[in-house]
Chains A and B, each alone.
Chain A
Amino acid sequence: MIKVEHLSKTLGGQKVLNDISFEVATGEILIFLGPSGIGKTVLLKHLIGLFQPDQGTVIVNGTDITKLSQSQQLKIRKDFGYLFQEGALYDFMNVFENVAFPLREHTSLNYQQIRQRVREVLDMVDLDEVEAKMPSELSGGMKKRVGLARAIVLGAKVLLCDEPTSGLDPIRSRDISDLIRQVAKKIGATTVIMSHDVHNSFRIADRLAILNDGAIEVVGRPQDLLSCDHSFVKEFLKPAAV
């Protein structure tokens, strides 16, 4: 479970997050929708402790991560999976080494067990025969799948995804969105996704939140948001309404 209370952050003199509060239940998928450059990534990075808030608390599974030291934060991140916009795969490692990296760092599994687990998660994200490939040999969609495999290989309790469909064509966007939902539900991860892809967000979210000017305009189930009267929300959700 994630509980964020009165979170505020100013960067470069500009208030990026303004008194944000929300909760995500265990196993739930909450998607933040909002225009680009509105602070979605900054909010997501607060949830894993990459940013320290000016004010407010971020409680994940009972621990306020804003109060932890850097070394304590590193320890609890074993329970997190973070999918970066471009995958952020190590370009000096092949796909197998990238996915195996968290297992080598945080478990005492032997080579055979690591190999088996890597195959399992690569199967889960529908990737076959790519283990020996370098990230530079993969398409954008494949990089995101490998990034997702690496994020969940330790069995993430919390899954955070930053713009998972950006830069992908509509078919790949639909596939990766479906895959994230399927994987998140399978491992029971509490999931927060930042996106501006209205169409796919409506398809896979349990709840949606609209972020604008550093604040949450509205939170609710997809069908509730469609009937919302808020002018910005109506304007932003036009594609979904259509």
Chain B
Amino acid sequence: MSFVIFKNLAGRIHAMGEAIFFLKDVLKVMFSGRVRFAQVLEQMYYQGVQSVVIIILSSLATGVVLGLQGSITLQRFGAREFIAPLVALSLLRELSPVFTTFIYSGKSGAGITAELGTMNTHEQIQATRTLGVDPIEFLVVPRFLACVLVMPALVVISELVGMFGGYLVAIFQAQLPSAIYIRQTIQSIHYVDFFSGLVKAFFFSVIVAWICCYQGFFTSGGALGVGRFTTRAVAYSYMAVILSNAVLTMFILTFWG
């Protein structure tokens, strides 16, 4: 029994070390300038298009729900006009970065793992090495970099669409004047609210890109393995984002406000 636990633990430590070396290799290629920009753009297009519609729909719904719940709760305290700051700050500081990352890792992140995993099981990654090309440079870095560039942009889209959802509720359900809602939204947003969300989005994008590329690159076990590693990539991304969000939030509130 203890042998099995030890073996399992040793396996996890080995995988963690492997993942750290993998990230080191990816960063080394990126910072040595061996970036294939045409492929990065292609990946940005695929990853962005894959996720943008679902992010718009879910952000709109999130903004509407925030507006509805906010208007009912705030009405009890006679503070109905504070819907705007509630919606804006909730979205900018927490909901948009976290929800967008969840949706992105479930769609594009899973796609990255499945693609790289299938290539690995069909020996295409090894074939790249035999052709004298570094597979990290050719297959991983474009996906990794596209993820890091696209996700913050999607977070900004999510914030704007979510605030629009809150606006619709405030105007049509809570009967707030449009000008007041817009003025309150603008007045309540400080630069720290916007940039703290972007900082989170950047960290989350690195986490998702790292986990999904790593799981795909080291996929084994044929079609079954591709399914298993893809599921694992999404689950690990969710856990890592939730945990790192707690740490980042504490850090931002302590040092930034």
Contacts and interface: CB of A to CB of B under 8 A. Distances in A.
Interface of A: 48, 50, 71, 74-78, 80, 82, 84-86, 88-91, 101-102, 105-106, 150
Contact of B131 (A76, A85, A86, A101): A101
Interface in B97-131: 118-119, 122-124, 126-127, 129-131
Contacts of A101: 131, 133
B129 A50 contact: yes
A102 B129 contact: no
A234 B205 CA distance: 60
Nearest to B138: A105
A174 to B, nearest CB: 25
B47 to A, nearest CB: 15
B33 interface: no
A105 B122 contact: no
A91 B131 contact: no
B132 A78 contact: yes
Nearest to B130: A82
Interface of B: 118-119, 122-124, 126-127, 129-134
A116 B132 CA distance: 22
Which 10 residue pairs are nearest across A and B when measured between Cβ atoms? A88-B127, A77-B132, A82-B130, A88-B123, A78-B132, A74-B132, A84-B123, A102-B131, A105-B133, A88-B124
A150 B132 CA distance: 12
Contacts of B129: 50, 74, 77
B218 to A, nearest CB: 15
B134 A91 contact: no
8 contacts: A50-B126, A75-B132, A80-B130, A84-B126, A86-B122, A90-B124, A102-B131, A105-B131
Contacts of B131: 77, 82, 101-102, 105, 150
Contacts of B119: 90-91
B127 A74 contact: no
B77 to A, nearest CB: 57
A102 B124 CA distance: 14
Given A101-B131, A150-B131, 9 more contacts: A48-B130, A74-B132, A77-B131, A77-B132, A82-B130, A84-B126, A84-B127, A89-B124, A105-B131
A144 to B, nearest CB: 13
Contacts of A90: 119, 124, 127
A88 B123 CA distance: 5
Nearest to B25: A70
B132 A106 contact: yes
Nearest to B118: A91
A78 B118 CA distance: 25
A17 B119 CA distance: 27
Contacts of A84: 123, 126-127
Nearest to A48: B130
A102 B132 contact: yes
Interface centre among B123, B127, B130, B132 (most CB of A within 10 A): B130
Contacts of B124: 88-91
Contacts of A102: 131-132
Contacts of B134: 71, 74
Contacts of A106: 132
Contact of B132 (A85, A88, A89, A105): A105
Nearest to B134: A74
